[in-house]
Structure formats: C-alpha cells, structure tokens
Amino acid sequence: MARLFFEGNLELLKNKTIGIIGYGNQGRSQALNLRDSGLDVIIGNVRDNYADLAEKDGFKVRSIPEAVKESDFSSILIPDEVAPDVFKSHILPYLKKDHVILFSSGYNIAFNFIDPPAGTDVIMVAPRMIGEGVRKRYEENMGFPVLIGVKQDSSGKALDYALSYSKGIGVMKKGGVAVESSFEEEALVDLFSEHTWAGSMLFLFKECFDALVEEGVSPEVALLELYMSGEVAEIAQRIADMGLFDQLKLHSTTSQYGQFVYGPKYMTDEIKKMLRQAIQEIKDGEFAKDWTLERIAGYPRLNSMWKNVKEYRISKEEEKMRKILKGEKEG
C-alpha cells in the first residue's frame, strides 16, 4: 500500500525563492497557486508569449539560467522532450550544492535522460490533473491528487520539501491527497495509460463508427452515439465519482445487462498478453529509445500518422458535426 499524505509544512519554503521553469499550463497554475499561498516565486522562461503572460500576471521573469541562480528551489515544468537539453545547458551549470530540483514527471529521471548532480535534493510532485484544473481547484478551495517521489535526498528533508510544495500548490485542501510513488512508477503508469486504454479507445471509436456506417447508420447519428453528444465525458466523471462499475447503476437495466454480457468478450487472452507486454516495453526502455530516435529524426512517423488520421472518414464527418453543435451551421 502506498503512503498517503494530507498535510505539509509550508514554513519549509517560506524563506526560499522558488523558480518556476516554464510558464505553460502547469507552470502558470502552479506559480499562481504558490504565490497565493504566500511563497516567493520567480519565473524562468525564454522570451516569448508565455514570458509576456507571466509579466502581465505580475511575476518577475528571468532567463532560465538567471532564474536558477536566483532561486533555492527549481520546479522544472517544461515538456519532457526538451527538458534534457535545457537542463544540461541552462540549469545544471547554475545549480547550488543544496538546491532542490522538482520535476512534475518521472520520465527523464526514470530513463536516465537527466542526471542531477550530487548534493542536491531531487523530488517529484506530479499532478493527476491538467494545469487549468490545478488552478480552478485552488480557487474553489478544493484539493487534487498528486504523486510524489524522492530520487535524491541530500538534505534529509526531500520528502518534506515535496509535501511542502504540494501544500503550496493546493493539494492539501479538501479532497486532495499526495500519494507516495517514485519517478519510475510515475513514468510507467503514465506511459502505460497512453499506450493501452487511451490510445486504443480512440481507434475503437473509429472502428465502431466504420462498422455502424457500413450498416447504414448515418454518420451524424453514429458520432452522437459514440462520443460527440458529450455523454462519454459525463460517464467518465461518474466513474471518478462513483467507481468503475457502480456508475452503471445510473444506466438502464438493459444497458447494465448488455455491458456486463458483451464487455468481457473483448478482453481476450491476446489483449491481456499485450497489456503485460506493454509494461515490459516501457520498463525495458524500448519506448523511450524509440521516441528519442523519432525526435532526432524530425518526427517522421508522428507527422505521417497525423496525416493519415486527417484522411479518416470519421475525422471529416466530426468536423462537420462540430460546426453544427457549435451553432455555426444548420443541419
């Protein structure tokens, strides 16, 4: 069982300057929450629209090296794919011996793309929520879940720093929890979700659409039934609120019976084997290596796959339906 934490000592960070590196969705939300919690926050960002927004929000904006030099605690909130190069060139040379380095993702530490220096604390606070939700929940005086982890504890207070930061961004408010994890575990579960149910769900919808249309169902009806009515989003929220199966009690008994009878038929032994294989491919570093080579090559496969999906009939039909649902065009 993982340890669960519902409190943190904010005083640990009261005498420190926190450098938020990257003012994107997570960076902005976390910076605003930390400031509203009474902490000293500066922003490290390249000179772009995000830097302009940070200044408009009232923050001191520095180059990334300057922000690292001026801070005691650096929260790395830039995309995983650029973080190793940025860390090596713009962060590593300016770290103090007792610096606290925080990551919101386990990926680069888990797969050794970033190797922090000795003498620093290396911690993870990974929200299980998009940046917009992090800010919205804080403003509503509600908490949210995060995974926390410690990779390097030079000060002996690394876990306490993770909990203090969690409190600062609003985790410890009502309904929030910090769940003890690790960089490796966070990277595994995050990639596993993306490689299994999340990705397969998209292509399952496509195959269901194709099957229905082949049987004479209109594209409009098929799309509305599958996901464009918004019902899927409502069901997902009920799953979070009530539980994976208990939410079925909100459905008709006909629906309950059909889902219980036919749902398991798609969970074949081959699929179960593929799920275990997906875990091993992640743990062995096969995906990390593949993704690195893809980026170095200029994203040829990714660009090709984007081109392919734009040609699917479902993509073209849903574009028409989106306009109708937005009131831009009558049916």
User: Which residues line the annotated binding site?
Assistant: 190, 194
Query: Which residue, 84, 87, 86, 178, is CA-closest to 129?
Result: 178
Residue carrying structure tokens 């610096």 = 99
Which residues lie below 8 Å from residue 101, measured CB to CB, with a gap of 6+? 74, 76, 95, 116, 120, 121, 122, 123
Which residues lie below 8 Å from residue 279, measured CB to CB, with a gap of 6+? 188, 192
Q: DSSP letter at 146?
A: E
Q: What are phi and psi of 259, to 5 degrees?
A: -70, -40
CA distances from 72 to 19, 25, 99, 161, 292 (A): 8, 23, 5, 12, 31
Residue carrying structure tokens 């509305």 = 224
Annotated binding site for Mg(2+): 190, 194
The rounded distance, in Å, linking the Cα atoms of 246 and 257 is 13
What percent of the chain is helix, strand and coil (3-state, nearest 5)? Answer: 55, 15, 30
Q: What are phi and psi of 59, to 5 degrees?
A: -95, 155
